[in-house]
Amino acid sequence: MKTIVLLPGYDGDGQRTFAKFKGLIKNKYKVVEIDYPYLTDHSRQFSAEEIINMVNDKTEGKITVLGFSMGGFLAAKYAKMFPEKIEKIILVSSSTRPILDKKLEKVLIIAKTLLSNKVTAYLLTKLFMTSNIKDFPLPKPGKNFKPENGYAVFGSLAKIISNEKIILNNLDKLAILFADDRSFPAKIYEPILKKQNFKTIVFKTGGHAEGDDYWEKVAKSL
């Protein structure tokens, strides 16, 4: 049976994110879901390389790697670093890199500096969780998320996000997108991923893992 590694979004909780999806594909794959280290260790920030090394620690041989949301950035970085280990790369509501407008690019540059400090990271997290910012591409964390965790979680996210162009030649590539996804809208990301030779599947509804049948649609696409 082939192994599939599941990389969650920025909240880092693979068990929660993929609880339903894992049941839908367990007869087809040996499933390994990853919990990011900052989920339990809020004392510091983590790099993409540190998280990627966790994948190698938990797997042997060739793997299919599936990244949801921010997990897609990590999946792409992993495939670039270890192409010999990739059976297939699957991006779900994601891309190889973010496409940000100029305003958000400037916000990210400032945020990377501010999030490196625990006090400002706390304040930014609290502001983000209580504000009503419209059209912001980052979904808010759950109600139980504590602002003091923002240093590790959002600081790690800021370190992982980059505009690095990742070229993945000679790999089996699939991207699953949703037209009503505000974080990774299909109208923006489909043409970009097609240029990178991803087979793309676009569903009209599902949002950013918000639709009741979201994971059923993803499972049927594999």
Segment 136-166, tens digit of pLDDT = 778 888 778 899 999 999 999 999 988 888 8
| Domains of the chain and CATH, by start | 2-99+165-221 (3.40.50.1820), 102-158 (no CATH)
Tokens at 18, concatenated:
């993929």
Better pLDDT: 173 or 129: 173
The closest of 69, 42, 70 to 153, measured between CA atoms, is: 42
Q: Which residues contact 217 (CB under 8 A, 6 or more apart)?
A: 176, 203, 206, 211
Segment 51-67, tens digit of pLDDT = 999 888 888 889 999 99
Report how far Cα 15 is from the mean position of its chain's Cα atoms.
14
- State the chain's mean pLDDT as an integer: 92
CB 101 within 8 A of CB 42: no
Predicted structure pTM score: 0.93
The closest of 23, 60, 18 to 36, measured between CA atoms, is: 18
CB 59 within 8 A of CB 83: no
Tokens at 94, concatenated:
């994601």
Is residue 135 over pLDDT 70? no
